[in-house]
Amino acid sequence: MNQNKLCETIDVDDGKVTLADYMGNDLSVVNAARVSFGKRKTELDEKDIKLIKYLAAHKHMSPFRHVVFSFTLEGVSEVVCRQLYKHQVGCSYTSGEFKEAATTWNEVSGRYVEFEPEFHIPELFRKQHTNNKQASNEGDAVEKNTEAQKIYMSAIENGYSAYKQLLELGVCKEQARMVMPISFKNSLVWTASLEAAVHFIKLRDHEGAQLEIRNLARAIKKLIDPICPHSIAALLDSTK
Ligand SMILES: Cc1cc2nc3c(=O)[nH]c(=O)nc-3n(C[C@H](O)[C@H](O)[C@H](O)COP(=O)(O)OP(=O)(O)OC[C@H]3O[C@@H](n4cnc5c(N)ncnc54)[C@H](O)[C@@H]3O)c2cc1C
């Protein structure tokens, strides 16, 4: 059993991610792999660590699916959530569509609840990457950052004001919400197997990924690393 203290909530940009629950650890991977020999360990030793490396290197992935994590994401922009939803295999999601939902672990829908939205406001507007068509340069702000912020805020205010006006006209919530800027902050519960979580980290903590989801991937890694450090290291190493 890993003795490191668990890090439970991490701020990600202007939202946060919490490791709300989990099942299993490095030992669960080992015991799942050894079940065919009728063996069960209670303490991890060097042989087990070797076995974990072997399993990852040879893509014997099923033992890594017996460890499961549940995260709550709060105040994370819908842009990031949309990218996260692309990770399907070994994952399940419950979306909140606004900030408070994840704390109750219930699905709340913008079809029947009026939005009380918050929006992700970047402090820094980054320049386009010079040779990667979809990326930006981390820390490299446009010269007119304040002007960019004004344009951004004005677009958000217009979108939200249009939403309220449509509701006042009697338009149903499910249509009125369509004018909402995609930067609105969402909340969701994401449950993923160890294999799926590491697959996400590998793809999203990568220089080609958007900085905001990269920050999320780094936070997720920090949260789960104390639970199964050997499996995570072996899986990341095997997929280089
Ligand atoms: C930097 C970056 C840029 C991206 N840009 C875009 C973009 O512009 N547009 C866009 O739409 N998406 C984009 N994506 C999302 C990307 O295409 C994937 O949908 C996302 O990364 C999830 O990865 P995945 O499919 O491996 O995950 P999962 O859906 O969780 O699948 C996990 C694994 O299961 C296997 N698998 C899944 N489905 C099947 C299947 N049907 N048949 C066989 N095997 C399967 C594959 O091995 C897959 O890797 C981008 C992703 C990244 C990291």
Residue 61 Cβ inside 6 Å of ligand 1? The answer reads no
89 in ligand 1 pocket by Cβ < 6 Å?
yes
Interacting residues of 91 by C-beta distance below 8 A, sequence separation 6+: 190, 191, 192, 193, 196, 200
CATH architecture observed for domain 9-110+184-238: 2-Layer Sandwich (3.30)
Token pair for residue 32? 């799942």
Please give the span between the terminal C-alpha atoms of the chain, in angstroms, as a whole number: 27
pLDDT band of residue 8 (cuts 50, 70, 90) is confident
pLDDT for 165-202, tens place per residue?
999 999 998 899 889 888 988 888 999 999 999 999 99
66/45 Cα distance (integer angstroms): 19
Residue that is written with structure tokens 């070797």 in the block: 50
As annotated, the active-site residues are 204
Q: Which ligand 1 atom minimizes the distance to the CA of 91?
A: 30
* Ligand 1 and 208: CB distance under 6 A: yes
Domain ranges of the chain: 9-110+184-238, 126-179
Locate the ligand 1 atom nearest the alpha carbon of residue 89 and give its number: 30
pLDDT single digits (tens) 140-171: 889 999 999 999 999 999 998 999 999 999 99
